[in-house]
Amino acid sequence: MVIEPKIIKTEQQYRAYLGEVERLAADDPAPGTPDGDRLELLAKLVEDYEKEHFKFERPDPVQAILFRMEEQGLRQKDLAPILGGKNRVSEILARKRPLTLAMVRALHESLRIPAELLVREPAPAPYLSKRRSRSGQRHASARRKPRNITQRRA
């Protein structure tokens, strides 16, 4: 069955085009030949469909570091020489301290984490208070009430 190249709109079309791309790729046609041109066009159509239907969010810096640690079997103490100490590693992984440019470079060179992933803003830590105004100040309801100094501690 010969597939007429057109924009892929359904999962069934996608699977058929993918099968045709695999068949053509196995023959390894030379660029500029009819089969080579057909492979290039079908591969582009498949790629466009995949970009539209199979979206993946890029990880934030902490997620990228944790992924690489798991992938390489590293522990926090293994990152201490790279990031400047165990405490600093802990603060970064807890999202309490941002990465500096020097840290980004060190992580990129040591662990081969793409720099563009490391320079993004990390997601806020889930345990941090969400009750802050736009200026970063805590809302009045989230502030601690002053303790009466005449009260005795229990």
For residues 20-30, average pLDDT: 93
Residues contacting residue 105 through CB under 8 Å, at least 6 positions apart? 115
The single residue listed with the structure tokens 């570091």 is 65
Convert 2-19 to b/e letters by CB count within 10 Å (16 or more is b).
eeeeeebeeeebbeebbe
Note whether 66 and 94 are within 8 A (CB).
Answer: no
pLDDT digits (tens, 9 = 90+) for 76-108: 999 999 999 999 999 999 999 999 999 999 999
pLDDT digits (tens, 9 = 90+) for 39-51: 999 999 999 999 8
pLDDT above 90 as % of the chain: 67
pLDDT band at 54 (very low <50, low <70, confident <90, very high): confident
**pTM, two decimal places:** 0.50
Backbone CA torsion sign across 18, 20, 24, 30: negative
- Fold adopted by 61-118: 434 Repressor (Amino-terminal Domain) (1.10.260)
